[in-house]
Amino acid sequence: MDLGLKGKKAIICASSRGLGKGCAQALAEAGCDIVLNGRNETVLEETRSQLQNLYGVSVAAIAADVSTREGQEALLTACPNPDILVNNNGGPPRRDYSELDREALLEGVVQNFVTPIELIQAVVPGMKERGFGRIVNITSLSVKMPIEGLDLSSGARAGLTAFLAGVCRQLAPHGVTVNNLLPGKMDTDRLKGGFERAAQQSGKSLEDVRAAQAAEIPARRFGSAEEFGQTCAFLCSRHAGYITGQNILMDGGLYPAAF
């Protein structure tokens, strides 16, 4: 399927690895010029080189913390008029709510609530002027169901979802869509780190922990960054202009609900 994205410009935050990289790869494959972002310059350059060699599109790499003003300015300098913005950022580490002090609370809110809103504010005027814009926010299954120890991440991402529910309706008449992708258990470094913690705490082997968690998912497997990225690319495509304000679960059926 031709997604109609050839020559479009895309900023993908936190995209040197994991789900962000999956989105960058799918958008590059569709013909977008890409601005990557990450903190590890070595990993970032490897991803940049890989995508540029594979797909022949322009790929810039910005090593920066997207939660800072300086990081955001660097991204927007590299791509002042993006057609696509994929908001992604690392969440706060697992921690019981009782252990969260004020500094930790504010940091989590800045990472997963304030930062994506600031970037949306920056890119939307140009999108409205051009009559085309696609914003995809990578949030989490935890927006819909609690995950132990991720209360801060869940709260900040749920707040972002509620905030943008009204904003997306204001932007719809201008050809700008805003949607959220909610990953469940995806086969990423973050998930593997969770397996390692669970194995240490339970005394079980890493393989047993992984198998037990996969068995809880109706699909009986973990999701991949590649299929996540392709879903993101579709939401950014010309075919998805009538989809906005949606929370799209990618969890293999783990969330048990009809609606």
The alpha carbon of 77 is separated from its chain's Cα centroid by a whole number of angstroms, namely 21
Residue 134 forms beta bridges with which residues?
Answer: 84, 177
State pTM to two decimals.
Answer: 0.95
CA–CA separation, 77 vs 122, rounded Å?
A: 11
What is 105-127 written as a DSSP string? HHHHHIIIIIHHHHHHHHHHHHH
Question: Can you give the pLDDT at residue 192?
Answer: 77
**Containing H/E element for 231?**
helix 225-236
Question: Can you give the pLDDT at residue 228?
Answer: 98
CA–CA separation, 205 vs 220, rounded Å?
A: 19
- Give the residue, 117 or 211, on which the prediction is more confident: 117
CA–CA separation, 220 vs 212, rounded Å?
A: 10
**Confidence check: pLDDT of 4 > 80:** yes
Question: Can you give the pLDDT at residue 148?
Answer: 86
pLDDT, average across residues 185-201: 82
CA–CA separation, 6 vs 203, rounded Å?
A: 50
Across the beta sheet with 133-138, what order do the strands follow? 59-63, 33-38, 9-12, 84-87, 133-138, 176-183, 247-250
**Confidence check: pLDDT of 193 > 80:** no
**Confidence check: pLDDT of 88 > 80:** yes
pLDDT, average across residues 130-140: 98
Three-state DSSP at 181 gives strand
Three-state DSSP at 190 gives helix
**Confidence check: pLDDT of 61 > 80:** yes
Count Cβ atoms below 10 Å from residue 234 Cβ, excluding itself. 16
pLDDT, average across residues 48-53: 97
Angle at 21 between CA 2 and CA 43, to 5 degrees: 140
- Give the residue, 199 or 26, on which the prediction is more confident: 26
Question: Can you give the pLDDT at residue 206?
Answer: 83
